[in-house]
Structure 1
């Protein structure tokens, strides 16, 4: 790696600042050279930054929430091959993002990078579109996690008390309670939040290992109808080779549709970029945390997928269980009820930690956008306030909480309404990832980009190109419904294209008729 040098407000390789006397000077001077003052305490290091990012990834609760997607589209083959194939370009996206983070470690993250890397005169609109696609991802992330968490808690209640049947208003109240608790934790000091997420990350890993050990050693696979023992594991030929196509598309498309669960699970590693202004040695620690999160998460996530694929008994009964939770239904197929309850409790605890980490990352995004008056002068003036005691963006946290509670009201409208909103999380996050990477590898002349201390060298453009190409390929795939023609109903419809497309259309109209006259982009 190169010796530390201080970045300029431009992206050219000229006139570096003098070598800093300390890491603190380096971080502060680097941030000031990017156009911003140091307002946060830098209490995060590499480990705690990784912990926040890995906690937001939330492998166990993420898998539990999206298990129905991978299984329903292509069965065990989709889980095995889908994860393996998709992880290669997803790692490319993460590595390219880490390179940008090292060059520009700000809370604005990809929004800031788009403004810097866009062709002359296009910085404001590039950052506007990137910012708002990333914003809607961040705003729906924590509420969707809490909605899934609330549904899982009530499914556990149903498991313990079969006569109980949850109501939408109960799910809404529980989702709101979880959101409030996570908001209060996120509003604490940076050091407290860092510790909480460190503990949460360790608990996540410990829980994952515990779950894997229990499934591998205690599972008893029996035919659901006859009770005949099926052996501890399915055959490798069946797991890897049999596509359980639950769609009306060809098998190849069904496998690609199963990538959605991988994309949704692996969409949290940008959190390290958003808390970089609170991290020491940020231009090294933050990009390393991004790569660590994507690598460790990818490996452990595939192991979890493989273990479930080898032990599941009846895919259709898992998906159609009256519990409404495929993860719980799967566990009941192979484990005693007591162990199922234990694993569900672990999953719920991990989910709470995941939601809290997502709340932290989202608040930094809201703060960064308010700092540049993305919300207009009135709202931005309130949201960008940093609490003098905790030195955290408390107002941004309360702002996000209000938005999250507002979105959660759609729970009262039924599964179709709330699923339509929360379905856009994966596509909006990866579009936000891809825009600045595409600007970097396709539109910026060679030799202009000033790399940070963590970079990809000569492989920067090929890796970035593969990552962006994957996102472009997946855009229509992520909008496909499982059913077509007469079989398609509002409940089975994939509303991603309508909701996300409608959102970006509104943002574009706002830009054309109003925002382009006052929004100048981030300070660069």
Structure 2
């Protein structure tokens, strides 16, 4: 029974063991998990080799996984809410050039992340990868830092997006009725209402979630195309005595120095809009345990989301730059707002789904402590989704929204951590892969080949440059007041400092990183599986270091991780 259930048929028709799947395993001493009462399919074999039992229905595919990621990307609402940074810091020329430059670094991050996802397709995602790739003894700490940074970005994602959607909805109401002035409690109540709707939607069965996000992302793409066409078609610049287009030299050639720093730094500072917008593609990583053919479909979805989003985003900003001084007729303004609001609603729902899977994965490994984790990691038996994790996040998100009553500085400071928290988490396992593991990394079927190291190094360098840049204020000296201060370093640094202190005081004693939660067996040296010799010659490096790749045909041209 053990031999039958711990093997699959390879492409050549020969049986191979779980340990020979093209993934990196964290199992100690080459342990291979297996369930004597369950026949593993290919996706379950891969997940089992990573130390986890299947708990979700795999009802996502490449398209529906891409749809969730693209919904989280939310180009139209993201661009609308971050336009200030591009225009205010670097002007029209900074937008198209800045987007192109930033997308080089962002696409490198996405490609390197996709490679990790193919090797380790788990809902823990980056946190899991950091634990596996870290040097011996450092796995739990690497997972702890990566996980909490990622969670900070995830937990503020849905409330920040829904806050923007509520604000745009009330703005549309005030345009239609000039006598109406939105109040803080209006914004709070509407945002909480949207959060509750998204909490219900994220608790649906996986099949329903996939269908809803497919519709939402299709609408997102259509809305983008409509807005790109609508802005130039509805311009009234000529009626104002202006040329129909802003001169090309102004759009492409004049860097507006909107900060106290040199033009080059101003352009780099304008990247915050691009980075905040282009930070949702990791959702495909977190949905990999619900995706069929996960170690191929999920990395493809990551790469596609970044590439398609970056391309659409660049074309989206051109009308804004070319028609900067126009005033659209009220009906067209309301039409653009309506499209943006609907896209924002879909984006918030996607954020809620992704965040719940991250919270579930961390609860599964007791990242929140033993007591809350035992509830958070529960999967609803009817929907087969992490319902408690969904409502745990919803409750925290609604509590964070109370900062609306503290004014725009407080709520803005809270949500500014999204970009920096996400990209620190994105790049930590990539950095470890490049500078500590190198060519010993054991890739999955979707990989970058010889380009893996240079692309990973470029991604790491890009984020290392941008983290301090994103913390700079737009003004300096006597002009710097609390209202103009960039509070990102505080609102991100303070929680992360707390997390580090928590680690050294307490967490290092009980948090051991990703753990095996299935019954497993030890494949002895020279064990025979269905007539195929499998040598379990892995050397242990603690519960977080991958063992050597097993010998045999299935290893192919994959390189052993060997840590």
**C-alpha separation between the residues in 1 aligned to 2:93 and 2:310?**
17
8 Å Cα contact 1:5-1:17 kept in structure 2: no
- Alignment partner of 1:234: what SS? coil
- Alignment partner of 2:485: what SS? coil
Equivalent in 48, 69, 75 of residue 64 of structure 2: 48
Alignment of 1:445-524 (within 5 A): 445-446=438-439, 448-523=440-515
**C-alpha separation between the residues in 2 aligned to 1:77 and 1:49?**
34
Give the equivalent residue in structure 2 for 1:310: 322
Greater shift, 227-236 or 90-99, is seen at 227-236
The yes-or-no answer on 1:87 pairing with 2:123 is: no
Give the equivalent residue in structure 2 for 1:150: 166
Distance 1:265 1:33, change over 3 A: same
Which blocks of at least 5 consecutive residues in structure 1 are unaligned? 314-332
Give the equivalent residue in structure 2 for 1:244: 256
Equivalent in 376, 394, 401 of residue 394 of structure 2: 401
Measure how far apart 1:163 and its partner are: 2.2
Measure how far apart 1:494 and its partner are: 0.7
Equivalent in 432, 444, 463 of residue 439 of structure 1: 432
8 Å Cα contact 2:255-2:263 kept in structure 1: yes
Give the equivalent residue in structure 1 for 2:53: 37
8 Å Cα contact 2:27-2:51 kept in structure 1: no
8 Å Cα contact 2:24-2:120 kept in structure 1: no
Q: What TM-score, normalized to structure 2? A: 0.85
Distance 1:282 1:462, change over 3 A: same
8 Å Cα contact 1:200-1:353 kept in structure 2: yes
Alignment of 1:101-500 (within 5 A): 101-221=117-237, 228-313=240-325, 333-446=326-439, 448-500=440-492
**C-alpha separation between the residues in 1 aligned to 2:302 and 2:188?**
33
**C-alpha separation between the residues in 2 aligned to 1:86 and 1:189?**
37
**C-alpha separation between the residues in 1 aligned to 2:389 and 2:363?**
8
Give the equivalent residue in structure 1 for 2:555: none
Measure how far apart 1:15 and its partner are: 11
Structure 1 residues 272-315: Cα deviation after superposition (integer angstroms, max 9, x where no partner): 000000000000000000000000001010000112111111xx
- Alignment partner of 2:41: what SS? helix
**C-alpha separation between the residues in 1 aligned to 2:475 and 2:415?**
19
**C-alpha separation between the residues in 1 aligned to 2:31 and 2:457?**
30
Structure 1 residues 53-102: Cα deviation after superposition (integer angstroms, max 9, x where no partner): 01110100100111111111111111111101000011000000000000
- Alignment partner of 1:444: what SS? helix
**C-alpha separation between the residues in 1 aligned to 2:210 and 2:453?**
34
Structure 1 residues 40-60: Cα deviation after superposition (integer angstroms, max 9, x where no partner): 000000000000001110100
Give the equivalent residue in structure 2 for 1:9: 25
**C-alpha separation between the residues in 2 aligned to 1:424 and 1:250?**
25
8 Å Cα contact 2:118-2:445 kept in structure 1: yes
**C-alpha separation between the residues in 1 aligned to 2:99 and 2:25?**
39
**C-alpha separation between the residues in 2 aligned to 1:171 and 1:485?**
34
Bigger radius of gyration among the two: 2
Measure how far apart 1:241 and its partner are: 0.9
Distance 1:213 1:49, change over 3 A: same
**C-alpha separation between the residues in 1 aligned to 2:164 and 2:23?**
42
Distance 1:8 1:442, change over 3 A: closer
Give the equivalent residue in structure 2 for 1:320: none
Measure how far apart 1:228 and its partner are: 3.0
8 Å Cα contact 2:23-2:118 kept in structure 1: no
**C-alpha separation between the residues in 1 aligned to 2:86 and 2:480?**
19
- Alignment partner of 1:147: what SS? helix
Give the equivalent residue in structure 2 for 1:316: none
8 Å Cα contact 2:22-2:443 kept in structure 1: no
Q: RMSD of the TM alignment (CA)?
A: 2.0
Measure how far apart 1:11 and its partner are: 9.5
8 Å Cα contact 2:22-2:119 kept in structure 1: no
8 Å Cα contact 1:6-1:16 kept in structure 2: no
Which blocks of at least 5 consecutive residues in structure 2 are unaligned? 1-9, 12-19, 516-543, 545-563
- Alignment partner of 1:491: what SS? helix
- Alignment partner of 1:94: what SS? helix
Greater shift, 212-221 or 420-429, is seen at 212-221
Structure 1 residues 206-248: Cα deviation after superposition (integer angstroms, max 9, x where no partner): 11111111112222225xxxx6321221111110111222211
